[in-house]
Amino acid sequence: MSKVISVCIPKGGVGKTTTAVNLAASLAVAEKKTLLIDVDPYGASAIALGFTSDKINASLAEVFAFTHSLKSAIHQTDLEYLDFVPSNIYSISTHDKFLKFTENRLILKNAIKEIENYYEYVIIDCPPLLKGISTNALVASDSILIPIKSGHFSLEAVDRLFNYFDWLKEIANPDLSIEGIILTMYEKDSKVTKISERELKIKYSKYLLNTFIPNTNLLNESTFYGKPLCLYKIDSEGAVAYLNLANEILQNNKKNKTELI
């Protein structure tokens, strides 16, 4: 069975897509069969992986319209262990029509059942909203990975996500857990980074992962080449950080499994 992790927080520009793409690629480098699903209508994951519209056959839009199965929307990537489902939501229907489909909270969960024996990890890139398709993603997930932009984070967005998490656990997904908080765009010696880290620790210290993602232009640059950073410059600081994040998540999940036995 797959472990399904949504990369989610109700804030844009904090590194959700960068984390989803580079974490999924790093899990694939570790030879874990991984599926990345883009549920953000803007489709930034597709760009980061070099999928232009002519390379996209079926997408999540058709899965939600019940014309295609999730399996038929799977695309192979340059990494042997990584597959991808693009969103392409704006291409076949108006956004309003799409939102109507997402009122059924179970569509993605049911769609993932079809493929859960093929993948060890399913990573979902969410839009910066806590309704509609994000609810679908969180109902389908085992856990939430929360990226927070160091130095400019919004405690309000983190609080909102945790309130939503409590509500979802109560009404729709009792087994949902927090995978962890990952600090992105981290600047080691910056004063604002230190202040915001201290504030975050007051309330959410137990969720903070050991890995942090440095602020490095290469993570931005590699998207212009349509590659995760590990395929662009594997020995760079950013690529190593995401490999470390994948490793930390793998170790934590190994630990949780042995605790259950």
Closer Cβ to Mg ion, 11 or 32, answer by number: 11
Residue 198's identity, in one-letter code, is: R
User: Does residue number 17 form part of the binding site for Mg ion (CB under 5 A)?
Assistant: yes
| Binding site partner of 220, from ligand ADP, Mg ion, none, Cβ cut-off 5-8 A by kind | ligand ADP
258 binds, among Mg ion, ligand ADP, none (CB under 5 to 8 A by kind): none
Stretch that binds ligand ADP, among 91-99, 135-143, 216-224, 244-252 (CB under 6 A): 216-224
User: In the set 220, 234, 255, 257, which binds ligand ADP (CB under 6 A)?
Assistant: 220
Asked if 244 touches ligand ADP (CB under 6 A), the answer is no
HEC-encoded secondary structure of 151-164? CCCCHHHHHHHHHH
The reply on whether position 216 binds ligand ADP by CB under 6 A is yes
Q: Are strands 75-76 and 82-85 parallel, antiparallel or unpaired?
A: antiparallel
Residue number, 29 or 219, with CB nearest to ligand ADP: 219
**Could you tell me the sign of the dihedral formed by the alpha carbons of 194, 200, 205, 209, in that order?**
negative
Residue from 10, 215, 245, 246 that binds ligand ADP (CB under 6 A)? 215
Site for ligand ADP contains 224 (CB under 6 A): no
216 binds, among ligand ADP, Mg ion, none (CB under 5 to 8 A by kind): ligand ADP
Contacts of 123 (CB under 8 A, 6+ apart): 5, 7, 20, 23, 24, 27, 34, 35, 36, 37
Give DSSP secondary structure letters for 219-241: HHHHHHTT--HHHH-TTSHHHHH
Residues 6+ apart with CB under 8 A from 53: 88, 91
Q: Which residues would be at the binding site for ligand ADP (CB under 6 A)? A: 12-18, 44, 184-185, 213, 215-217, 219-220, 223
